[in-house]
Amino acid sequence: MSAQLRALAAETCFLVIDQGKSLSEALPKAQQKLASAPDKALLQEICFGVMRTLPQLETVCQHLMSKPLIKQLRPLQFLIYVGIYQLKFMRIPDHAAISETVEAARSLKGQSLTKLINGVLRNVQRQPALFDFASASLAVQYNHPGWIIDAIKQAYPEQWQTILQANQHKAPLWLRVNQQQISPAAFMAELTAADIAHSQPLSYLPVAIKLEQARDVTLLPGYAEGWFSVQDGAAQHAALLLDSQPGDVVLDACCAPGGKTCHILELTPDITLTALDRDEKRLARVHDNLARLSLQARVVAADVLDTANWWQGEQFDRILLDVPCSATGVIRRHPDIRWLRKKSDITPLVTLQSEILLHAWSLLKPGGTLLYATCSILPSENSEQIQAFLSQQPDAILHPISIANNATTWQILPGEQDLDGFFFAVLHKKITT
């Protein structure tokens, strides 16, 4: 636990909140600068924690500082948040949290601010009432931006508080066993032998294994051999619902980084699968995953809307559309999403989703199945999107989802059965004569 670690945490939070970088991009770069696994984990815990509590940290600072630090001093403002987060939410001894944070200010060119930072942190230590937010705005009480709170409240008048609270919890680590390599029972025996606590909580998804504690998955048994992949339990429903059959010609139209592509192939290796994505950088991960899991697909870098560039002229039996979305269902796993995503992003996303859906529909065989999926919990991207599509497409019908009590669309909310928030709709194309 060092001053360097605190300085890295402050710089990482600054890059995300002020510069708009994603935490999954900024954090690994910062972690590379630390040698030990515990330090890397601590850096993650602090950065995730600051993302989860930013409005409360800002509010406390508003009470203790005449004005926030600006311009080139912004990283030092984040250092103060890092210090307060440790004092209030972590089990680090106060004296260590304060002295290491003050020391970190020097490496962030804040020698002249060490007194101020020390003073703010000592006040936080002395005044627990600063953390009474009962009469604060909902944004501060729930640590989410107002527009997300409003949207969730409107869509889920009964459950909005539960959803916002679920977003504050750490997500468990879900694995998916690659049944082409090992059975779930044999894999769990390996975990038990390695003394790794695990459970198999979803009766209809025997390959979904939950680990309570975050770990370096490359050190788990069978990583290099392709025995398993990391994938949330909710996302593991996609390949099941697509239900591809041996011999099918299948399209995974938004495939990168390939989690669902690989699951489809693990269930039905004897299909012809085109895995397409327009992001070449993300497609590199699809190639890596296929290679590690010993699976095969035709991987194509193209925009699904630009058919002339990639389509070989044969309609598909099954299409998976895991469309780009607001990711409002996975805020607990990616706590920075709530700050990076803007209200103005939603309408263009809904338009793109509807274009992709309409276009993909024309590539589906009559009698075929299209699975529409998002990791969003906003109705505009989910149920309303599907209703609008059905009203334009008389040859489309919804297929009831048996694992969801035959509901015609399935919205999983974050935290339900310890899963991420996800949406599924299974669409059948009627055969018209």
Ligand X SMILES: C[S@@+](CC[C@H](N)C(=O)[O-])C[C@H]1O[C@@H](n2cnc3c(N)ncnc32)[C@H](O)[C@@H]1O
Active site residues: 375
Closer to ligand X by Cβ: residue 39 or 303: 303
Q: Residues 67-89, buried b or exposed e (16+ Cβ, 10 A)?
A: eebeeeebbbbbbbbbbbbbbbb
CB nearer to ligand X: give 312 or 432.
312
Pick one of 305, 363, 398, 403: the residue that binds ligand X (CB under 6 A): 305
Instruction: Please confirm whether the linkage preceding 257 is cis (ω < 30° from 0).
Output: yes
Q: What sign results for the dihedral spanned by CA atoms 288, 292, 298, 304?
A: negative
Which CB, 142 or 410, lies closer to ligand X? 410
Q: Give the interface segment with ligand X, choosing from 43-51, 257-265, 311-319, 403-411 (CB under 6 A).
A: 257-265
- Taking CB atoms, the residue at the shortest distance from ligand X is 254
- Decide: 246 and 206 in contact? Cβ < 8 Å: no
Options 210, 278, 318, 332; binder of ligand X; rule CB under 6 A: 278
SS3 state at 409: strand
List binders of ligand X among 311-340 (CB under 6 A): 322, 324
For residue 304, state whether it binds ligand X (rule: CB under 6 A). Answer: yes
Q: Binding to ligand X by residue 279, rule CB under 6 A?
A: yes
- Site size for ligand X, by CB under 6 A? 18
Question: Does the annotation flag 257 for ligand binding?
Answer: yes
Please tell me whether residue 226 binds ligand X under the rule CB under 6 A. no
Piece of 29-37, 58-66, 303-311, 408-416 that binds ligand X (CB under 6 A)? 303-311
Q: Are 78 and 49 in contact (CB under 8 A)?
A: no
Q: Do the beta carbons of residue 345 and residue 326 sit within 8 Å? A: yes
Q: CA-CA distance, 152 to 418, in Å (whole number)?
A: 19
Residue of the chain from 256, 290, 364, 427 that contacts ligand X (CB under 6 A): 256
Contact 416, 162 (CB under 8 A): no
CB 267 within 8 A of CB 242: no
Whichever of 58 and 303 has its CB closer to ligand X, that residue is 303
- The correct pick among 11, 248, 266, 277 for binding ligand X (CB under 6 A) is 277
CB atoms within 10 A of CB 168: 15
Q: What angle do CA 351, 356, 361 make, to 5 degrees?
A: 130
CB of 298 to ligand X, least distance (A): 14
Q: Is residue 258 at the binding interface for ligand X, with CB under 6 A as the rule?
A: yes
How far apart, in Å, are the Cα atoms of 339 and each of 27, 84, 139, 342? 16, 19, 12, 7
Tokens of 179: 């049944």
- Which stretch in 64-72, 127-135, 141-149, 272-280 sits in contact with ligand X by CB under 6 A? 272-280
Print the binding letters for residues 195-224 with ligand X: x by CB under 6 A, - otherwise. Answer: ------------------------------
302 marked as binding residue? no
Positions in the binding site for ligand X (CB under 6 A): 254-260, 276-279, 282, 303-305, 322, 324, 356
